[in-house]
Structure 1
Amino acid sequence: MRLLTFCTLVFVTFFTTKGTAQDILPYTFINNSEYDDSEIYIGLVGKYGDNVDVWMNLNDYSLVPMTAEDNILDGPSWSTPATWKYPDIFTKLSDITNNIIQIPQGLYGSRIFISFESPMYLHFHETGGYAGANLNSSSDPNDGIRWEIVELTWGDSGLWTNSSRVDAYQYPISLEVSGFTGGLNEPTYTESYLSAVSGNGTSKYGKIGEKLSHNEILSKWDENVSNDYLIAKIVKTHSIDGGPIIEQPSKVEGFPEDILDGYIEEIWSTYTNNDLTIDIGDRGIWVGRVTGDRFDFVDPADGSVATIYGKPKSFDAIEGSGFLAYTPIQSGANQEKYDEDLMIQAQIAAAISRHAIYTDEVGAIVQYTHDASRYFINQPYNEYVSFFHNEEISYDSQTYAFAYDDVGDHSSTIQCTFPTSVRVIIGGYDQYVEPTPKLSFISVAPYVTEIENGSVQQFTAQGYDQYSEILTANVNWSTTGGGTISVNGLFTATTIGDFIITAQDGNISRSIAFTVTEAMVNPIGCKGDAATGDYSYVASSDTEDPSITFVPSVAGNGDATCLLFYGTNPDDTFAGFGVTPNTPFQINASEGETVHFYYTYSLVSGGENNTSATRHSFIVGDCEGLLSIEDLDNKRDIKMFPNPVNSQNTFVSGLSEDTSIRLYSLHGQLISITNYSNKEIAEIETSRLIQGVYFVSVMTQDKQSKIFKLVVN
């Protein structure tokens, strides 16, 4: 087993999920249970678009708006209201193609219900939404059906998905997610996703869930909780299999309602005359004091106040309710106060359930209420929560055992910004044989949207297994729309239009779509290339106030930020001017003056770069110091070979004086610099470089330069 974090993906046009690979996320169900696929039922409900309640047709993965007209099935004889009917939205796992359902990006507040030996009964309201299972009622139609849920939201900031023990434990469930992390740097989530999976993201894998069998968990419960909590293991009135489940104790009749009252009273009493200083992680340190039954917390950093408006009861802490989920502040009137009240109430509710506030620590002593090593040391605490956080029960001690278990990031929620796949393991990890790593995803880099006609673009492919670890992919390249692509992924643009290149290994493939545009005509004048390889530049031949043009080497470089810094005195601080890529910018300089300049610019791959350390220069009206590649070629025949390279070094020939050779990554990061003296041929160490595109800058003693693009296969 691996210790890790996770993700996977797909898209839907309302209301169908037949979209592109970056908009649809496959959830695969792996049956590791005692039940046959034909005995397991799957149903999905959630929200999509403009707050529309939907359910998923698992035959074609389309999203269907909820309507009371869908209520067509009778409930069992004991269910109330007796007149209610229920929609037919559950599908046997054995009838779901490849045990996979496709989740569209934009689905949120969603629950995947998993039931055993019977579908569930969810009632769609005429006013919207649905009625789920009520564990507190023996007349509920779902009473006696064993079921579990997987929750998910996949919005424009990524995927959140989890199992849940908030209401009850009924059967082991585990989750694994594969995907990528990375920034939301593009105009849309989809574009950011494409960028992340095209070499600009970091692979990520995560897992959560129960480690023991169902029967072992039930036995451990009997052995590890006190008598007050044993009552939470019950057999439902209409149980299909006659076996017990474990409910959140607050939902079970007969559980002591004052189970945590003494601890709550101790907290309120202690901090009536003393300060409570707590560190709550990202929200920093807060200092609280009780007045009457009101508990006010102050943020010393900015003086803001968060309030608990009354002393809570045990069930308020267990369920996140009452005074631990209440503020009289209207959100529209004072959003900050509204948010901070509910934030501090969640923090204190979690601390009470975990017994994370130590009443012998007062005043300036900081209590770290997110520190799990402080939890469940002193009684009383919620033993249901403690039990399911036991590392013997739950992987990495992560579970969602009460409403505020996400406080301090201790819940079973897995967050993945750019998911590529999710696996739901029904039955958990007991006796689960982890599959041998196999190719599950191919990343194709770089992420480009435009290529100039007549130019070439080197694409590379990287394979990943189901655990988001690098795995060799033996890809075949293909292209549609025109142009050619070599066996090594070198695309040559020969026709204007829309293109798709694809890297495929067996049934695993990845495509990138882009447009081949008309070749840009460079302005006439003095030309040169930046040492980073991110751009070239052109100075006009005007003898007075010439222009300088920033020419990106990759479409998109400089689009967000492009600043020209120039001056005629190299020792002065240069002024900066905002410029537009591919557009001449007129400067103020006279014939015979030497202009020194450099750029600060954004990269299409994210972040910014600058060339202040390798300034450019030219003489107005003469172009001296800004030789074009053609001029340099005429003066000295400098060549690099072999290129591309395959697990060998490359060489630069045509040198006749002291030379500095710099090797840069595709994104302008300096990898190495080597100086050569009186050598005609220089060897560059490239055999250890990973597959990709690099730039080699050759700078002679008299500051003449030549840039090569190096392809490493």
Structure 2
Amino acid sequence: MLSRRAFLGLSAAALTAPAWPGFVTAAATPATFTLSLVNNSGSGTVYAYVTGTTPDNRLVLLAADGSPYYPSSPSGTLTPLPVDCAIPVGSGRQVSVPRMAGARIYLVTDSKLDFFLNPGPALVHPSFLNTSDPNFGRQWSFAEFTFNDTQLFANISYVDFVALPLGIALSTTSSGSKSVPGLPSGSAAAVASELSAQGSNWGQLAQTSNGRVLRVLSAHHKADQFAGYLDGYLDQVWQKYSGQQLRIDSQNPGLGVFTGTVSGGSLTFDNGESFTKPTTADVWSCDSGPFAITAGASLARKAIIPRLAAALNRTTLLANANQPDGEDPAQFYRNAQTNHYARIVHSRLPDNRGYAFPYDDVTPGPDFSGSVFAGDPEVLTVTVNAF
């Protein structure tokens, strides 16, 4: 199995979990799938935007009428998108989607979003960090997908933030149906309230406008406010594995199991891969410091990083030296200093499924990732629920 990060084209990470049942590799997918958009938001004004990269590496969006639109490179930066790509959802809408990778389905209530082009062309996506972005104060969110000749893979992600609640479902021609309900209505305000009650700087993750919660950011976007937060836990982990071995199962028959111990300040495995002690920011992001996957990284390193990063986000390394096989989901996030954003998000998910950090698909068995996938996709339904 490829991770969300690899399959969506967001990073070079791969091999993050066991092969999914039903993973299809033999037959080619159809040329298109149907995207069904459902409006349960309570707003009569909902728009969708679909954008990604074609198999021949071109930027593509769907225009308002559902037809593919391939932008030309503009002469300057921040050029307004010249074609209307706001698909009106109304009470419901269906469009046909061609193959594209690293794709997003944006949904917004009560107004349209503003997209821009930079030379390339490169699409300037809505920003949830730049307060001067015209989209900052609007209620929007997105689902992710990649659709290639092997399968359609789609997921709900809270890796960046919690905002407008979405659900996804996938029907197929012959391999059944799958669905992820996502967070229920009212979750942004509820998550913000629980984080505020947690104390420390957790309450600072909520973005508000006129006293109303717009969205709640993942902690890695405010990493500077959590400097040193996990130091005590990380010190205990490094001390523990100075005296015993840490076992990490790659969950790949071709790679096997790696064992490591701490020596000279680094966690070094029997295959030679070595990891310095990460910072809190490294743990939150999963892709900086020792968790950065650089060009030429071995398959072994690509397998160890997700499992080590996941165990540190869930703060289970002190309790379990057999990762991830010996993991008990009931023990996730039990340490006083842990990823409380991920803990609270998962506590509110009806089926406990949805990415709350980039390697949330690491698992001893149960699926926490909030993904749907199939080699014979027919209809992907995305439902926008009430904020």
TM-score when normalising by structure 2: 0.81
Provide Cα deviations, 1:639-688, integer angstroms capped at 9, x if missing partner.
xxxxxxxxxxxxxxxxxxxxxxxxxxxxxxxxxxxxxxxxxxxxxxxxxx
Taking the aligned partners of 2:183 and 2:279, their CA distance within structure 1 comes to 33
Unaligned runs of 5+ in 1: 8-20, 72-82, 180-196, 299-303, 332-336, 431-713
1:160 paired residue number: 153
Matching of residue 41 in structure 1 with residue 47 in structure 2: yes
Provide Cα deviations, 1:107-166, integer angstroms capped at 9, x if missing partner.
111111112223223322213422223333222332212210111111122110012111
Q: Work out which of the residue numbers 354, 357, 375 in structure 2 matches 1:402.
A: 357
Provide Cα deviations, 1:623-651, integer angstroms capped at 9, x if missing partner.
xxxxxxxxxxxxxxxxxxxxxxxxxxxxx
Q: Which amino acid aligns with 1:154?
A: F
- Compared with structure 1, are the counterparts of its residues 416 and 211 closer, same or farther at alpha carbon in structure 2 (3 Å cutoff)? same
Unaligned runs of 5+ in 2: 1-20, 24-28
Q: Which amino acid aligns with 2:261?
A: R
Q: Work out which of the residue numbers 337, 341, 352 in structure 1 matches 2:301.
A: 341
- Say which SS state the counterpart of residue 351 (structure 2) adopts: helix
1:707 paired residue number: none
Taking the aligned partners of 1:376 and 1:260, their CA distance within structure 2 comes to 12
Taking the aligned partners of 2:185 and 2:331, their CA distance within structure 1 comes to 28
Matching of residue 117 in structure 1 with residue 110 in structure 2: yes
- TM-superposed CA distance for 1:177, in Å, is 0.6
- TM-superposed CA distance for 1:55, in Å, is 1.6
Aligned residue pairs, count: 354
1:68 paired residue number: 74
- TM-superposed CA distance for 1:315, in Å, is 1.3
- Say which SS state the counterpart of residue 226 (structure 2) adopts: coil
- Say which SS state the counterpart of residue 376 (structure 1) adopts: coil
Contact 1:357 1:367 (C-alpha < 8 Å) held by counterparts:
no
- TM-superposed CA distance for 1:294, in Å, is 2.7
- Say which SS state the counterpart of residue 316 (structure 2) adopts: coil
Q: Which amino acid aligns with 1:56?
A: L
Contact 1:90 1:120 (C-alpha < 8 Å) held by counterparts:
no
Q: Which amino acid aligns with 1:325?
A: F
- Compared with structure 1, are the counterparts of its residues 135 and 324 closer, same or farther at alpha carbon in structure 2 (3 Å cutoff)? farther
2:207 paired residue number: 234
- Compared with structure 1, are the counterparts of its residues 22 and 117 closer, same or farther at alpha carbon in structure 2 (3 Å cutoff)? same
Provide Cα deviations, 1:152-201, integer angstroms capped at 9, x if missing partner.
1111221100121111111111001111xxxxxxxxxxxxxxxxx5xxx5
Contact 2:49 2:87 (C-alpha < 8 Å) held by counterparts:
no
Contact 2:230 2:279 (C-alpha < 8 Å) held by counterparts:
yes
Q: Identify the structure with the greater helix proportion.
A: 2
- TM-superposed CA distance for 1:95, in Å, is 6.9
1:269 paired residue number: 239
Q: State how 1:357-368 maps to structure 2 within 5 Å.
A: 357-358=317-318, 368=325
Matching of residue 421 in structure 1 with residue 379 in structure 2: yes
Contact 2:188 2:215 (C-alpha < 8 Å) held by counterparts:
no
Contact 2:47 2:86 (C-alpha < 8 Å) held by counterparts:
yes
Contact 2:307 2:323 (C-alpha < 8 Å) held by counterparts:
no
Q: Which amino acid aligns with 2:193?
A: D
- TM-superposed CA distance for 1:92, in Å, is 4.6
Q: State how 1:9-28 maps to structure 2 within 5 Å.
A: 22-28=30-36
- Say which SS state the counterpart of residue 318 (structure 2) adopts: coil
- TM-superposed CA distance for 1:280, in Å, is 5.0
Taking the aligned partners of 2:243 and 2:155, their CA distance within structure 1 comes to 41
Q: State how 1:24-173 maps to structure 2 within 5 Å.
A: 24-36=32-44, 39-68=45-74, 84-87=78-81, 88-94=83-89, 99-104=93-98, 106-173=99-166
Contact 1:86 1:123 (C-alpha < 8 Å) held by counterparts:
yes
2:182 paired residue number: 210
Provide Cα deviations, 1:342-400, integer angstroms capped at 9, x if missing partner.
331121111111112125x56xx67636542331233322111111112xx22310011
Provide Cα deviations, 1:318-361, integer angstroms capped at 9, x if missing partner.
11122243356x42xxxxx53322331121111111112125x5
- Compared with structure 1, are the counterparts of its residues 427 and 55 closer, same or farther at alpha carbon in structure 2 (3 Å cutoff)? same
- Compared with structure 1, are the counterparts of its residues 385 and 265 closer, same or farther at alpha carbon in structure 2 (3 Å cutoff)? same
Contact 2:248 2:304 (C-alpha < 8 Å) held by counterparts:
no
- TM-superposed CA distance for 1:100, in Å, is 0.9
Taking the aligned partners of 1:274 and 1:312, their CA distance within structure 2 comes to 19
TM-score when normalising by structure 1: 0.46
- Compared with structure 1, are the counterparts of its residues 426 and 294 closer, same or farther at alpha carbon in structure 2 (3 Å cutoff)? same
Provide Cα deviations, 1:253-303, integer angstroms capped at 9, x if missing partner.
8732222222222212221232112345446532111232332223xxxxx
Taking the aligned partners of 1:143 and 1:367, their CA distance within structure 2 comes to 38
1:245 paired residue number: 215
Q: Which amino acid aligns with 1:259?
A: Y
Contact 1:324 1:346 (C-alpha < 8 Å) held by counterparts:
no
1:381 paired residue number: 338
- Say which SS state the counterpart of residue 146 (structure 2) adopts: strand
Q: Which amino acid aligns with 2:127?
A: N
Taking the aligned partners of 1:366 and 1:145, their CA distance within structure 2 comes to 41
Q: CA RMSD in A?
A: 3.0
Taking the aligned partners of 1:292 and 1:120, their CA distance within structure 2 comes to 52
- TM-superposed CA distance for 1:217, in Å, is 5.0
Provide Cα deviations, 1:490-523, integer angstroms capped at 9, x if missing partner.
xxxxxxxxxxxxxxxxxxxxxxxxxxxxxxxxxx
Taking the aligned partners of 2:290 and 2:181, their CA distance within structure 1 comes to 28
Q: Which amino acid aligns with 2:131?
A: S
2:12 paired residue number: none
Q: Which amino acid aligns with 1:256?
A: F
1:307 paired residue number: 274
1:291 paired residue number: 263
Q: Which amino acid aligns with 2:330?
A: S
- Compared with structure 1, are the counterparts of its residues 23 and 127 closer, same or farther at alpha carbon in structure 2 (3 Å cutoff)? closer
Taking the aligned partners of 2:135 and 2:225, their CA distance within structure 1 comes to 22
Contact 2:64 2:88 (C-alpha < 8 Å) held by counterparts:
no
Taking the aligned partners of 1:218 and 1:255, their CA distance within structure 2 comes to 21
Taking the aligned partners of 1:374 and 1:56, their CA distance within structure 2 comes to 44
